[in-house]
Amino acid sequence: MSGHYTPSNCLWTEPAAQQRRRKFCHQVHLKDGRVMTALEASRLPGMPGFWAVRSRLAQGFSLELPQPHRLYRTSRWINWQGETLPLPQWAKRLGLRPQVLANRLRRMTLDAAMTPQVMREHRAIEWQGERLPLKVWASRLKLSTRTLRRRIASGMPLEQAMTPEPLKPFRRSFRKSEPTTQE
């Protein structure tokens, strides 16, 4: 808003929107018709940093959003169920980190790797008629996953390993002997 300070000329907005309306903020007009500040444009995926955006505008270049194939040109493209996307986008859809999906693709078939959650057989424990992952049993027993895993790996019987109270190992106590007084 410009003009005199009157109630009809005031607009209440968020602080971020107020900062964008300052006179010295560099406005960027994208080819798709959107208008934003240079800082906002630099935060779009595939766009260069803030100073590169400003220098390109100063040199008279127009900014356009990169195409997805240019944005992910170094990524591995995966075709699954008739849809082709880069690995980071598939990982985001499946709720995985890209590195986890890449590791799965190395050691599993495509269909097995693209399932959202793969329950590993060696981490699922059957006890009292229920088959659950180690992490779920640990939370039910109010133990850490590490504690329960170590108990089972040490060869402890399952009935003893699944006890919620901490197991205290045998420790020898070293008591200080009371000083003797000589008479």
* Chain mean pLDDT for the chain: 77
- pLDDT of 67 above 60: no
Give the Cα separation of 48 and 28 in Å (integer).
13
The residue that leads in pLDDT, 116 or 161, is 161
- pLDDT of 167 above 80: no
- Please tell me the predicted confidence (pLDDT) of residue 57: 75
Q: Which residues pair with 145 in a beta bridge?
A: none
Helical residues (DSSP H) of the chain, grouped into ranges: 15-20, 38-42, 50-58, 68-71, 87-94, 98-107, 110-113, 134-140, 145-153, 158-161
Instruction: Please state which of the ranges 32-41, 76-85, 116-125 shows the lowest mean pLDDT.
Output: 116-125
- pLDDT of 72 above 60: no
- Confidence class for position 170, pLDDT limits 50, 70, 90: very low
Q: What is the pTM of this model?
A: 0.32
Quick one: tokens of 88?
Answer: 């980071």
Q: Which of 84, 86, 64, 67 is nearest to 75 (CA)?
A: 86
Q: What is the DSSP letter of 121?
A: G
